[in-house]
């Protein structure tokens, strides 16, 4: 329902008629708060100049985002969040990017993570975080590196964390890495995680945990 602009009254004008009362008071209340509400959690959203509509509350764990295709210009969307991990040794061959395997999902709200790959179904910005524990099997000497990379659409895109040997790590120490990035994704884009090391021998990181959360657009 559209709000009717109330005319300005001046001294000497007659009292409002029944039509004036219905148009400028009764109908305007019906076009706005609180008459527009019908249920718990309802919101009011502008639809045009001096026009409003009721927007029902979204489902639990959804978020309100702009959407020009909707009558109210707003839409409720489900939260996109995934966290996966691998809690066993995985071999990383020297000087060879190695896809990190994730046999276990902690949660995956949109069902977007499968076969060690996150596939985007909503355009926007995503917070990507990762933790890799215990680069086991020998020292990391000066100039050698151990690294965790993000591949976007199967192409190296971002390095979450890079550790450069400074001749301080011994065979008994097992360094860990943590990092994050904010990545813009279009629908259908994919993310994968790769480990890389060039220490001259195979290494076996033990615990790997990664999270991807939709930030917005």
Contacts of 84 (CB under 8 A, 6+ apart): 102, 104, 105, 106, 108, 113, 209, 210
Taking the CA atoms of residue 62, residue 63, residue 68 and residue 73 in that order, the dihedral angle to the nearest 10 degrees is: 100
Virtual torsion, Cα 182, 103, 88, 133, nearest 10 deg = 10
- pLDDT tens-digit map of 124-162: 999 999 988 877 766 677 788 888 999 999 999 999 988
Task: Answer whether 65's CB lies under 8 Å from 75's CB.
Answer: yes
Task: Output 173 or 80, whichever has higher pLDDT.
Answer: 80
How many whole angstroms separate alpha carbon 151 and alpha carbon 23?
61
H/E stretch holding 13:
none
15 vs 48, which has greater pLDDT? 48
- Is pLDDT at 102 greater than 60 in this prediction? yes
Give this prediction's pTM. 0.73
Q: What digits encode the pLDDT tens for the residues 152-190? A: 999 999 999 888 776 555 555 567 788 999 999 999 999
Phi, psi of 136 (to 5 degrees): -80, 170
Any idea which of 76-80, 113-117, 118-122, 191-195 has the lowest mean pLDDT?
A: 76-80
Give CA separation, 28 vs 18, 21, 45, 71, 136, in Å: 14, 10, 15, 20, 71
Place of tokens 């509509």: 53
């Amino acid at each position: 329902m559209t709000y009717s602009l109330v005319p300005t009254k001046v001294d000497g004008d007659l009292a409002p008629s029944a039509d004036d009362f219905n148009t400028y008071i009764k109908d305007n209340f019906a076009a706005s708060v609180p008459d527009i509400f019908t249920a718990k959690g309802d919101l009011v959203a502008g639809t045009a100049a001096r026009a409003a509509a009721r927007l029902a509350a979204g489902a639990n764990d959804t978020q309100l985002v702009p959407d020009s295709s909707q009558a109210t210009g707003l839409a409720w969307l489900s939260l996109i969040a995934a966290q996966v991990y691998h809690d066993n040794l995985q071999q990383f061959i020297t000087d060879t990017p190695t896809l990190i395997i994730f046999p276990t999902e902690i949660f995956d709200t949109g069902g977007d993570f499968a076969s060690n790959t996150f596939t985007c179904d909503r355009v926007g910005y995503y917070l990507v975080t990762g933790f890799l524990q215990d680069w086991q099997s020998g020292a990391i000497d000066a100039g050698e590196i151990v690294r965790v990379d993000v591949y976007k659409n199967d192409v190296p895109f971002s390095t979450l964390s890079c550790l450069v040997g400074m001749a301080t790590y011994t065979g008994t120490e097992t360094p860990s890495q943590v990092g994050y990035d904010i990545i813009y994704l279009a629908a259908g884009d994919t993310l994968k995680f790769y480990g890389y090391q060039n220490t001259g021998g195979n290494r076996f990181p033990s615990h790997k945990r990664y999270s991807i959360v939709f930030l917005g657009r």
